[in-house]
Structure 1
Amino acid sequence: MNSFSQMDADLIAEQEALWTALNRFLNRLTSAEWSHPHGKTWTFADVPYHLAIFNRLLVDAIEQGTAVVEPEAITTLAELDAWNQAQFARRPIGQTGRQAFDTMRSSQDALRTLLHRLLDHHGPQVLDWPVWLPILRVRGWRTLRLALEYNLWHQWFHFVEAQLRRDNTLPHLPPSLVERALNFHMELSAGAVTPTRQVLRWTLSLSGEGGGEWTFYVGDGGCQVEPGAVDAPDIRMETDIATYLKVSAFALQNPMLAMLKGQIKVQGLTRVGQLQRLFAVNPDHVWPPMARGAAVPAGE
């Protein structure tokens, strides 16, 4: 039997570390806190229910394998919003936050049990098996490894938002986990860029445990991102992980105010407006599929 690569072993260990920290955080919420607002339309009780949906989505994808009948893929944020609303419409009436939390933990157990059974029977090669994912950048046939990376990022993303909203702090997580999640986040973010013929190089530097540097290359109608910095980018932005996510992902902080306070340092300020337009939320923008992690079912 082939042995695990260190990266694959780390991925599975980081998933467990994330679940432990996430469950500990949610378990601290009081009965009153479950009903507190979480963004414009959610409450904190919606978070574990939403995460349970995605855990179950992955369990179903693994169990169905290549026998799945490919559904229509979700290609835009508008379609994703409609899909999410349909999932929430199936939620049991009167479900409490604590019950949603229990549902999420059950979904974790289901995913853990299935994954470990497959690994025990077939070895680490199961991480190369194809599974069908329907959503945005990861839509299509993907390796199980990529599906697990996506699920880890998705849980990390919502966990970070919840703790920032409640405590204004980042969760304490292994730096390797944060680095993995941020790398995946940057890959996803590159797909949000509105197609353009403009050429722009933007280097983003994030401080904090698990932080790093990434350069976005905009041009030829799309955007690519690579780890690391480049000499003389059009824009260089330096900030910490929490401020970046508050500003760019969760609308918890005004970006101009963050710059005025010195929390975000920018070189190439005259082109920031161009950057904001390129990354502006467009619910009808069709997100291009990610190149990494594609899989081809046997026989195709």
Structure 2
Amino acid sequence: MGLRLRFAPRPANVRIGPTHYHDPLLRARGERPVSDFTSLSRRDWLTLADRFYGRLDRTLAGLTSDEWQRPTAYLGWSARDVLAHMTSAMPVNFREVLGRALDGNPGPPPEFDTFSRNAREVERRRTVPVASLVREFRTELEAILRTYRELSDSDWDRPAWFFVGRVRVRTLFLAQFADNVFHERDLLMANRRWPGFDPEYTAPLVDWFLRELRPATFRPERAVGLRAAMRYRLHGPTGGDWTLTVADGACRVERGADRRVDVTLVADAESLVAAAQARAAPWVGRLARTVDWIRGRARAEDTVAAVTGAASLAWALARRRIRIGGDRTVIARLNRAFWHFWQRTAMTAANIAKG
């Protein structure tokens, strides 16, 4: 664990703040949830994750056999398929890159096509009983959380790699945490039992999503000569203001609304993340599955993601769940200057090539 690493994460287009410390036990004191993700320590994040995973465990135990078969908003999969994906993502995706980082090899693996990997693992578990999937999920979750609990704070900040490029070990933990938070939403919305996000852990995850994950998807080669600022104004218990700035081939996102901007996006955090992560009405995903062969079987998952992604954003805009105003030329250029969810395979390949 104390090895000297050969290189640090490339700053590239991402500005990641240092790790600070903050007591997360806010609910007992009646305080507003912490929304600055950098102010939470490894121990703080593990405390929040334990609370969420306790809730998730109750969710998994409470679904009936019929409810496990219901279609979800995620890629045309049933609730059972989503559970199979949540289970397999830990050993197949997260454990690989975490292990490489902790072994002092934070560069990219030769292949990391998560869409194809996930689809293969879901299919492989097609006949596994739900009870067995739940047991496997609990086993895999406890194993990977044990690894994070045993890390030192310096290990938490070690360089790592994910499909967005070079990151830190903390990012791998937060990506899995956020992924499972939204997958619980998939399971419960499919069964009309969704109570809404708990802001205690969702607020800092939204901050992470905007300040670290969003700029990590920036494509500087598509932003030549672009200088623009965009405000994200999110309402609700996990809301706030963030300002994204693109200039000189770099992107950063900062908290606050202290400067003039060219574009303003107004939404609640849930609608924004749902659109960004291609959550669409279940029938859209099921329809997409019937035409997933159009670009070839090898790109079936990319096709489904593209269809659900386009439908999700169109629905959010049409229903005014997301409102975007400002200079239309700048809006179009900013949209082109970032990788999108359904472009993950191409983004991953590009980031592997960068090393």
For normalisation by structure 2, the TM-score amounts to: 0.64
Could you report, residue by residue, the CA deviation over 1:220-274 in whole angstroms, capped at 9, with x for unpaired residues?
Answer: 4453222222432111111112222333323436545544544334331634444
Gaps of 5+ in 1: 290-300
Corresponding residue for residue 284 of structure 1: 346
For 2:231 and 2:349, the matched residues in 1 are separated by: 22
- Is structure 2 residue 254 aligned with structure 1 residue 223? no
Match of 1:98 among 103, 109, 131: 131
- 1:70 deviates by 6.1
**Cα RMSD after superposing both structures:** 3.4
- Once residues 275 and 30 of structure 1 are traced to their aligned partners in structure 2, the CA distance between those partners, rounded to angstroms, is 44
Identity %: 19
Instruction: List structure 1 segments (4+ residues) > 4 angstroms apart after TM superposition.
Output: 57-64, 67-71, 123-126, 253-262, 286-289
Q: Distance in 1 between matches of 2:236 and 2:243?
A: 18
Give yes or no for contact 1:36–1:44 (8 Å, CA) kept in 2.
Answer: yes
Name the TM-score, length of structure 1 as normaliser.
Answer: 0.74
The one-letter amino acid paired with 1:178 is T
Tell me if the contact between 1:236 and 1:268 (Cα under 8 Å) persists in the aligned partners: yes
Q: Deviation at 1:52?
A: 2.5
Partners of 2:165 and 2:175 in 1: CA distance: 8
Which whole-Å CA distance do the structure 2 matches of 1:168 and 1:109 have between them?
A: 26
CA contact (8 A) 1:74 1:80 kept: no
Residue 328 of structure 2 is aligned with which of 270, 280, 285?
Answer: 270
**1:74/1:136 contact within 8 Å kept:** no
Deviation at 1:204, TM superposition (A): 0.8
The answer (yes or no) to whether the contact 2:163–2:347 under 8 Å persists in 1 is: no
1:46-195 superposed matches below 5 A: 46-56=81-91, 58=94, 65-66=102-103, 72=109, 79-88=113-122, 91-92=124-125, 94-116=127-149, 118=150, 124-128=153-157, 130=158, 132-133=160-161, 135-137=162-164, 139=166, 142-143=168-169, 145-167=170-192, 169=194, 171-173=196-198, 175-186=199-210, 187-194=212-219, 195=222
Unaligned regions of 5+ residues in structure 2, if any? 1-19, 23-39, 281-310
Q: Is the 8 A contact 1:234 1:268 kept in 2?
A: yes
Worse overlay, 14-23 or 255-264: 255-264
Aligned residue number for residue 69 of structure 2: 35
Partner Cα distance (1:230, 1:170) in 2? 34
Q: 1:126 to 1:166 in 2, by over 3 A?
A: same
- 2:37 aligned with 1:14: no
Matched, 1:243 2:271: yes
Confirm or deny: 8 A CA contact 1:204 1:238 kept in the other structure.
yes
Cα distance per residue 1:157-216 (max 9 Å; x no partner):
32334434443846442x241122112222223333443223321111111222222222
Contact between 1:191 and 1:287, CA under 8 Å: does it hold in 2? no
- Write the distance in 1 (CA, Å) between the matches of 2:327 and 2:132: 48
d(CA) in 1 for partners of 2:347 and 2:247?
Answer: 16
Cross-structure match for 1:5: 21
C-alpha contact (below 8 Å) 1:51/1:104 kept by paired residues? yes
* TM-superposed deviation, 1:11: 0.5
